[in-house]
Amino acid sequence: MAALDAPVTRPRAGTTVLLALPPLLLLGIVLALWQSEALHRLLGIQVFQLPLPSGILAAFARRSGDLWTGAWYTLGEAVIGLGLGAGLGFAAAALFVQFDGLRRGLMPLAVSANAIPLIAITPIVTRWLGFDQPTRIFVVALMTFAPMVVSAYKGLTALDNAALDLMHSYAATAGDTFRKLRLPSSLPYVFSALRVGATAAMIGAVVAEFFNSAGGIGKLIANNVQGNDYALAWCGVLIVTGMGLLLYFAVSLLERLVVRGQAGGRE
């Protein structure tokens, strides 16, 4: 019991700094090689193909308003699509748990959606739904649906047999078993799928904008590549990367809050 009540040790600030030093040092070396054009000579490319960091910063200062407007536009598509795809994926997994015949018939179809090439399906979906924003949201939802189905189903069925027998011995209904046993068990799997989906959602939104968007950071990247303004296109790429990381860490923070709430509710 004393071991259970022992305080959780947290990493010291000094340890955190030491852990952060190697990646920061590596980043500094890469930026120095990049700015000095040594990276260009190593890769055999020209400066106009891979603009210098100073040139990318200058392009950002020149068009920061357009860049942020496009970034928030794309982030909205990614978040809505992620929420829609993950929500439908979890609902499908819950149905598969309750109806095994439905799972045997539809699970292979749900999993096969994950194998559809994004760059191939986007023009087809555009023909179906048109050139408006719902098309790109649909593409993102399609990308995030299948991983959630698989992960959520695994979590909903990864139960301790003793705990399941205990619920049956108390004559618990299927709803009680789902709420008190299956749902808490599925949370790590659900958030794992959400973390993967967070970065995939940004990729899906950007790629979809290449084909059928009047706005968004993907359209800005495509237009400036065609116009040979690679510095501005790289600004878009870096912003998309940052937005993907932001969405990933937001999901991680939500996981901490939800899991902590579940743990507190059981105390």
What CATH number should be reported for the domain holding residue 84?
1.10.3720.10
For residue 156, being part of any structural domain is answered with yes
When divided into structural domains, the chain yields a total of: 1
For residue 26, being part of any structural domain is answered with no
pLDDT at 23: 80
pLDDT at 2: 38
- Per-residue model confidence as pLDDT tens digits over 185-238: 888 899 999 999 998 899 889 988 887 777 889 889 988 888 888 999 999 999
- Residue 151's domain comprises 52-266
For residue 255, being part of any structural domain is answered with yes
pLDDT at 90: 94
Task: Give the pTM.
Answer: 0.80
Q: Which of 122-126, 164-168, 242-246 has the lowest mean pLDDT?
A: 164-168
Q: How confident is the model at residue 11 (pLDDT cuts 50, 70, 90)?
A: low
Instruction: Tell which residue, 35, 58, 82, has the closest CA to residue 246.
Output: 82
- Per-residue model confidence as pLDDT tens digits over 40-80: 898 888 888 889 999 999 999 999 888 999 999 999 999 99
- Per-residue model confidence as pLDDT tens digits over 82-99: 999 999 999 999 999 888
For residue 160, being part of any structural domain is answered with yes
Are residues 220 and 67 in contact, defined by beta-carbon separation less than 8 angstroms?
yes
- Per-residue model confidence as pLDDT tens digits over 131-149: 778 888 988 998 899 899 9
Q: What is the mean pLDDT of residues 126-134?
A: 78
